[in-house]
Structure 1
Amino acid sequence: MLLLDEHWITRAALRGALANAVDLEIMAEATDCDEAIARLCTGGLTADVLVFTGATDPANLCYRLADELPQWPVRLLMIGGEVFPDSLGRRYSAMGWGWLPQSAAEKHFIAAARLIAAGHCIAPGPSTAGNGRFTNLVAQLTARELDVLRLLAEGCTNAEISARLQLGESTVKSHVQNLLNKLGARNRVSAAIYAYEIGLVHLERQTGQRTSQGEDPCHLVSG
């Protein structure tokens, strides 16, 4: 990962948030677009995701990257500022990009970084909750299945979900299988991506808090 922000204290905060994510390695840091591109141009730097804040213009950054590094797979995670522009999102959807509000929890930042590194797109909130197909699918889930989906999206294992929701592990397995079938998801990772694409946390607020609150965060897993 390459961290881009003009303020050292912001880069330190991002670095600190990633400290416990052993699978996410910070390869370098930069203070502006010129420095970031210069670092990416060096043969020894292989960053999969460029993390930048709202202080950087995403359009300018994307155009500079496309012009000067056409061979680099553009995978961008923007923290804060305005929502990632729709036109850029459509252009780079095949590569992987994401936007999170500055108020996003650390667990969501780490989960988003992992998903984007894998080539997925993440934009939780009102801009994605309007996707009718996904919203209709989620409407088929029970309140308990939404509980399980939210924890699954945070990376919880069946055992962890069982402990958080005080359910038997076999019951959790049943809920997971039911929600996978309803969503048409191939596996847990696909279901987690659905949860992020529809902005599940925002959707819960819109539908009267259908899921329970206050469970501890879990790490993201790919199994």
Structure 2
Amino acid sequence: MSGDAIRVLLVDDHAVMRAGFRMILDSADAIEVVGEAADGAAAIVAATRLQPDVICMDVQMPDMDGIEATRRIVADAAVTASVVIVTTFDRDDYLFQALSAGASGFLLKNAGPEELVAAVRAAAAGDALLAPEVTKRVIERFVAPASAPASVAGSAATTGAAVTITAELTERESEVLHLLAQALSNAEIAQRLYIGEATVKTHVSNVLQKIGARDRVAAVVYAHRNGLA
């Protein structure tokens, strides 16, 4: 296996599910499953020891669930892995708790093998990925009209503040934010703007910093809330 392969840690309390995921991912080019864990506590230990690039994390597990494990892993500066939640349960509470915990993706277990592989590749590239079934719900949850009360609008900037923040973006950064809102990957943005993928990563980093977004999912929500999509 190449040293450039994406290193993956599988976390699920069902051994059969882990075996299936391992078979799918190990058969993909430049992806290597480097470890497995059967609960959240074991996942934290394995993440520190193995230093994977991506962790595929179940939610419902004994001892410590995947949401809490994700929260602790993301908060650990010694671990740089991106976490993709892979669950059977299409529940809003799991979805929003996972995103709040810092997960980079949310995928349902009924997804096809190619979707699992794509999710791992996207997370490893620093992109965010949401199952098509849940993307609309994320936008509906966080995209509130200007007249909505603060409790509904959440913590994103108000319309007036958004104008000020957006004005600080360069023309290219505004283009990148617009394409982020269309859920394009860095590679797709690079092709659309005829620039290098490394340059896109720099622009994305600058956009996230300027609009105060933690990750790409937050940037997508921000863009839709403020009419920048």
TM-score, length of structure 1 as denominator length: 0.52
Give the match for residue 99 of structure 2.
89
Equivalent pairs counted in the alignment come to 138
Tell me the CA shift for residue 187 of structure 1: 7.4
Post-superposition offset of 1:91: 5.9
C-alpha distance in structure 1 between counterparts of 2:114 and 2:58, whole Å: 17
Q: Which has the higher contact order (CA 8 A, sep 6+)?
A: 1
How much has 1:126 moved relative to structure 2? 4.1
- For the pair 1:61 / 2:66, whether they are aligned, the reply is no
1:121 matched to which residue of 2?
128
Within-5 A mapping of 1:102-121: 102-121=109-128
Q: Report the alpha carbon displacement of residue 55 of structure 1 after superposing the two structures with TM.
A: 2.4
Whole-angstrom distance in 2 between the partners of 1:186 and 1:4: 25
Q: Cα–Cα, structure 1 residues 66 and 112, in superposed 2: closer, same or farther, change >3 Å?
A: closer
- After superposition, what is the alpha-carbon deviation per residue over 1:105-153, rounded to whole angstroms, capped at 9, x for unaligned? 1111101110011111111224323659xxxxxxxxxxxxxxxxxxxxx
CA offset digits 1:79-107 (Å, max 9, x no partner) = 12245533542563xxx611111210111
Match status 1:189 vs 2:188: yes
Residues 186 and 99 of structure 1, relative CA distance in 2, 3 Å threshold? closer
Q: Is the 8 A contact 2:57 2:85 kept in 1?
A: yes
Specify which structure has the higher proportion of strand. Answer: 2
When normalised by structure 2's length, the TM-score is: 0.50
% identical equivalent positions: 23
Q: Would you say 1:51 and 2:61 are equivalent positions?
A: no
Name the aligned partner's letter for residue 85 of structure 1: L
Which residue pairs with 1:27 in the alignment?
34
CA distance in 2, matches of 1:22, 1:117: 14
8 Å Cα contact 2:47/2:73 also seen in 1: no
The verdict on how the C-alpha distance between 1:31 and 1:70 changes in structure 2, with shifts beyond 3 A counting, is same
CA distance in structure 2 between the partners assigned to 1:8 and 1:110 by the alignment: 19
Gaps spanning 5+ residues in structure 1: where? 133-179, 198-223
Q: Structure 1 runs of 4+ off > 6 angstroms? A: none
Provide the aligned C-alpha RMSD in A: 3.2
